[in-house]
Chains A and B, each alone.
Chain A
């Protein structure tokens, strides 16, 4: 097959564009990374050092002032000893992981059936599944709260997991259906002729949908992990998660910047690592990588 290389010819405009691209990317990099660096560094400063700013217009001493501090882990220590962050961390992991797992398992099965089996009204079912994601979260919050209260699910981890699942599951079905659509039907037929039942054939092709499932698992986790609205309303009380706990560091009397920065680091580090870990899957997953036979 011919390559689809985009040929670039050398010209003045081309070089100008290259320079511009470089500058743009540098600015973009700083713009993106700087807040994280400030957050990370500030989480190890005490309050005085954190607000030690250079004179206005004194750009030369920005770096020296910024790094002029005695590192302290006091914010982290206090978060875990006085503020129960271990529990919140646990709540965050359980609620996001649990919901992601449930969504992927049920979503894969539903997506597989929608992909493979023709039945009357299939398109309507599929549209209905997507349509549940069309209303903004805020719009369904009040009825959801009422229902959950009636079921005694407010302030519990199962309640929070269920709430996240209501939002993750349609998304899972929608995305995973695309992956199953890309897997040749003949492979399952071969599996059935090989002696599998339909369910066995489904399990046989699951590895082929692995990039999609992996990518989707992470998207689900990210959504729940970063969520504030559900967590504050449905999880408040017994199932407080990291974003909600962080919000509570802003009190009417003081804003505890050091702790907020530390909580920010605690919240973002796991997701950063997760992202790095499955970066490859995430990319092939999101481009709906076709199955190579």
Chain B
């Protein structure tokens, strides 16, 4: 087992900086997700950890061993690739046994390990087949099987379930998490799917344009995003943003824009007082934290219903509030129609305020 240290790592492709000054510490046995949109440098990071790509600058340590110049075969890792990368000309059994065969392990031992892993992944009946006879889910299990028979010190998963259909993906999320807990092996898992990251990871590293945005637990990432970009990237439907100004009135701190004017809580006010840089800010609030007011007194802002979308157990209402579009998550019994005026109430304990210039979160 190994802890991983990524220290000031850069990856350059010619002039293009794919990963910029990355620092991540992964504890032994931890499940870390690297999350970000395509082209954010997450796969490059993983491939540098695997030794498939040269580290342009900085160091990577497994435990206290610097691995920058170790080829993949000496890193005691197992990797699952996005497109599975099974050997097309070998059977499932041979695919899984390959790494052990290279280690010149005893045949009976290989056999028992492969069969145990196949049992765990429920692919025993497929062992004699070739990869092209398998479905996507089965191929993916094989790829995972190939990784776990090796009993590596580190798992590297590169979007392994991205190509499965939605239902199977949901199932595999649970399976993978259980498997990782059972084996207790350190896991670094790259994905662009926030649902995978939020549901599986111990901690998530959110990356954008090669820069680490936030490294925290899933709940912290969701509830206390470090900046406006993370806040907008995490959460489905996405967070609503409104440009506001901070004003002070009779010692009270207020958030104000064309549509509303509302006081911050005491705690929030003190954070703004000590940290605020400039008056212009962006207010962010999740659709879950907005509700429809029953009386005009309760209401904070009024808007006009643009469209309603029924999502089974929930309903999304999109409303025009001055010049922003606000999404509200409500119950399916909401009866407003297109064009109706609606009264909205923001939960001011749950909203976020980001600095106007760089989007860094105040709270």
Does B164 interact with chain A (Cβ within 8 Å)? no
Give min CB distance, A152 to chain B, whole Å.
45
Tell me whether A195 and B85 are in contact in the complex, defined as CB-CB below 8 angstroms, given that A189-B52, A293-B131, A293-B132 are known contacts: no
Does A60 interact with chain B (Cβ within 8 Å)? no
Does B174 interact with chain A (Cβ within 8 Å)? no
Does A187 interact with chain B (Cβ within 8 Å)? yes
Contact with B along A184-200 (1 / 0, CB 8 A): 10110111111111001
Q: How far is the CA of A192 from the CA of B82 in the complex (A)?
A: 16
Chain A residues with Cβ below 8 Å from B114 are: none
Give min CB distance, B86 to chain A, whole Å.
7
Chain B residues with Cβ below 8 Å from A197 are: 71, 73
Chain A residues with Cβ below 8 Å from B131 are: 293
Chain B residues with Cβ below 8 Å from A184 are: 83, 85
B88 adjacent to A192 (CB under 8 Å): no
Chain A residues with Cβ below 8 Å from B273 are: none
A192 adjacent to B52 (CB under 8 Å): yes
Does B222 interact with chain A (Cβ within 8 Å)? no
Contact with B along A77-118 (1 / 0, CB 8 A): 000000000000000000000000000000000000000000
Contact with A along B128-141 (1 / 0, CB 8 A): 00011000000000
Which applies to chain A's interface (DSSP): helix, strand, loop or mixed? helix
Contact with A along B60-88 (1 / 0, CB 8 A): 00000000000111000111011111111
Tell me whether A193 and B77 are in contact in the complex, defined as CB-CB below 8 angstroms, given that A292-B132, A293-B131 are known contacts: yes
Does B171 interact with chain A (Cβ within 8 Å)? no
A190 adjacent to B79 (CB under 8 Å): yes
Does B123 interact with chain A (Cβ within 8 Å)? no
Q: How large is the interface on A (under 10, 10 to 19, 20 to 34, 35 or more residues)?
A: 10 to 19
Among B51, B81, B85, B89, the residue within 8 A (CB) of A207 is B89
Does B99 interact with chain A (Cβ within 8 Å)? yes
Max chain B CB contacts within 10 Å: which of A192, A197, A207, A208? A192
Q: How far is the CA of A193 from the CA of B153 in the complex (A)?
A: 13
Give min CB distance, B140 to chain A, whole Å.
13
Does A274 interact with chain B (Cβ within 8 Å)? no
Does A291 interact with chain B (Cβ within 8 Å)? yes
Give min CB distance, A197 to chain B, whole Å.
7
Contact with B along A121-158 (1 / 0, CB 8 A): 00000000000000000000000000000000000000
Does A204 interact with chain B (Cβ within 8 Å)? yes
Chain A residues with Cβ below 8 Å from B87 are: 187, 190-191, 204
Closest to B132 in A: A292
Tell me whether A200 and B102 are in contact in the complex, defined as CB-CB below 8 angstroms, given that A184-B83, A195-B73 are known contacts: yes
Does B274 interact with chain A (Cβ within 8 Å)? no
Closest to A204 in B: B87
Chain A residues with Cβ below 8 Å from B88 are: 187, 208, 291-293
Max chain B CB contacts within 10 Å: which of A184, A194, A200, A292? A194
A195 adjacent to B132 (CB under 8 Å): no
Q: How far is the CA of A190 from the CA of B150 in the complex (A)?
A: 13
Chain A residues with Cβ below 8 Å from B77 are: 193
Max chain A CB contacts within 10 Å: which of B73, B86, B98? B73
Closest to A188 in B: B85
B72 adjacent to A192 (CB under 8 Å): yes
B73 adjacent to A192 (CB under 8 Å): yes
Contact with B along A167-193 (1 / 0, CB 8 A): 000000000000000001011011111
Chain B residues with Cβ below 8 Å from A189 are: 50, 52, 72, 79, 81, 85
Nearest 9 pairs between A and B by C-beta?
A186-B85, A194-B99, A190-B85, A195-B102, A195-B73, A192-B72, A193-B79, A207-B89, A186-B81
Interface residues of A (CB under 8 A from B): 184, 186-187, 189-197, 200, 204, 207-208, 291-293
User: Can you spell out 26 A-B residue pairs with CB atoms less than 8 angstroms apart?
Assistant: A184-B83, A184-B85, A186-B81, A187-B86, A189-B52, A189-B79, A189-B81, A190-B79, A191-B87, A191-B98, A192-B72, A193-B52, A193-B72, A193-B73, A193-B79, A194-B73, A194-B102, A194-B146, A194-B150, A195-B73, A195-B99, A197-B71, A204-B87, A207-B89, A208-B89, A293-B83
